[in-house]
């Protein structure tokens, strides 16, 4: 079942001719979850054919403009498009205050219900349904900031059709057996669930880490995720600048990927001072072998 990460903006605060400010959309089973909403996000959604009616949650990492300024326009457009559902913005108390004052003024009378889920810069589960859990990890930036980890929940066990036929398990019992129950025959004998099923698919996970300076023990908190986005605003020669401004180098991001033993590392949030993005790829590859160079329009299956 679908679990994809779409890159809508992988530039940083100063705009660049080729990159948008921060925006990422996770498509989990055709439900869209947006992480950050930089200026121009709504146009990029349209360009990438990501459908507004499927978007009900926006997760903000922190309250710098390049992660937020696309929100008022996006919500205005949702309202103008006649979408009457609600949308939940996950952000700090401050974000709730300033964003609701903007929406109250500009979206007055529009038929959209904007809800806020107030989060804190600490570890917590901030969203959960039957198949997905989203949790925060605190980051180290100039203002409070969090990353988000999207974790698929373990699925049902798979029916072993041959064994079920052999033990004459009727179809109506399949749902219970998928859920892990043993099967009790008419004669009272019990067939163990392990005989009738195979292990479910391995749950998948995605961690989104932006913006932060290098945090050595972050790796523990995102151990083994299949895909890690970690910001790479700078290259190693500007390492001091990165630290001073609450950002990471490509090598530091790759170090986190290595320590966390992730499947793949996605890089982005490039400073506009560098004219060649492949420098980020090269630097990260010198530390970790499996790196994807972030780019607007990229769609990655987790």
Query: Which residues contribute to the site for a second copy (CB under 8 A)?
Result: 13-15, 17, 21, 39-40, 42-43, 46-47, 63-66, 68-70, 72-73, 76-77, 80-81, 94, 98, 101-102, 105-107
Separation of alpha carbons 173 and 153, rounded Å: 23
Q: Please, are residues 21 and 9 in contact by the beta-carbon 8 Å criterion? A: yes
Handedness of CA 260, 264, 270, 276 (dihedral sign): positive
Q: Which is nearer to a second copy, 39 or 231 (CB)?
A: 39
Q: How far is the CB of 262 from a second copy (least distance, A)?
A: 32
Q: How far is the CB of 95 from a second copy (least distance, A)?
A: 10
Give catalytic status of residue 259 as yes or no. no
Q: How far is the CB of 144 from a second copy (least distance, A)?
A: 14
Residue 174 CB neighbour total at 10 angstroms: 17
Q: Which is nearer to a second copy, 36 or 66 (CB)?
A: 66
Separation of alpha carbons 248 and 246, rounded Å: 7
Q: Please, are residues 28 and 56 in contact by the beta-carbon 8 Å criterion? A: no
Q: Which is nearer to a second copy, 69 or 174 (CB)?
A: 69
Q: How far is the CB of 69 from a second copy (least distance, A)?
A: 5
**Rg over CA atoms, the chain:** 22
Of the CA atoms within 13 Å of residue 219, those in its CB half-sphere come to 16
Q: Which is nearer to a second copy, 48 or 160 (CB)?
A: 48
Catalytic residues: 66
């Amino acid at each position: 079942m679908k679990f994809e990460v779409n890159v809508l903006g992988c530039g940083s605060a100063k705009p660049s001719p080729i990159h948008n400010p921060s925006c990422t959309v996770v498509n989990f089973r055709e439900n869209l979850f947006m992480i950050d909403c930089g200026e121009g996000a709504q146009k990029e959604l349209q360009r990438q054919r990501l459908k507004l009616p499927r978007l009900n949650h926006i997760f903000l990492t922190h309250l710098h403009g390049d992660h937020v300024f696309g929100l008022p326009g996006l919500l205005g457009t949702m309202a103008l498009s006649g979408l009457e559902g609600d949308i939940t913005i996950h952000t700090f108390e401050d974000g709730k205050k300033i964003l609701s004052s903007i929406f109250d003024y500009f979206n007055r009378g529009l038929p959209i219900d904007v809800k806020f889920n107030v989060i804190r810069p600490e570890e917590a589960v901030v969203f959960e349904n039957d198949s997905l859990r989203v949790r925060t990890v605190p980051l180290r930036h100039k203002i409070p900031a969090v990353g988000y980890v999207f974790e698929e929940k373990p699925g049902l066990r798979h029916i072993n059709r041959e064994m079920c036929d052999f033990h004459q398990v009727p179809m109506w019992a399949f749902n219970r057996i998928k859920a892990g129950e043993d099967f009790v025959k008419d004669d009272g004998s019990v067939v163990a669930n392990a005989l009738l099923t195979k292990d479910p698919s391995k749950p998948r996970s995605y961690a989104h880490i932006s913006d932060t300076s290098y945090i050595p023990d972050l790796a523990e908190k995102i151990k083994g995720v299949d895909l890690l986005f970690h910001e790479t605003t700078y290259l190693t020669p500007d390492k001091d600048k990165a630290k001073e401004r609450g950002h990471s180098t490509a090598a530091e991001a790759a170090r986190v990927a290595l320590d966390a033993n992730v499947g793949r590392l996605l890089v982005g949030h490039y400073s506009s001072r560098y004219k060649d993005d492949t420098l980020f790829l090269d630097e990260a590859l010198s530390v970790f072998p499996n790196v994807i160079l972030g780019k607007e329009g990229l769609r990655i299956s987790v």
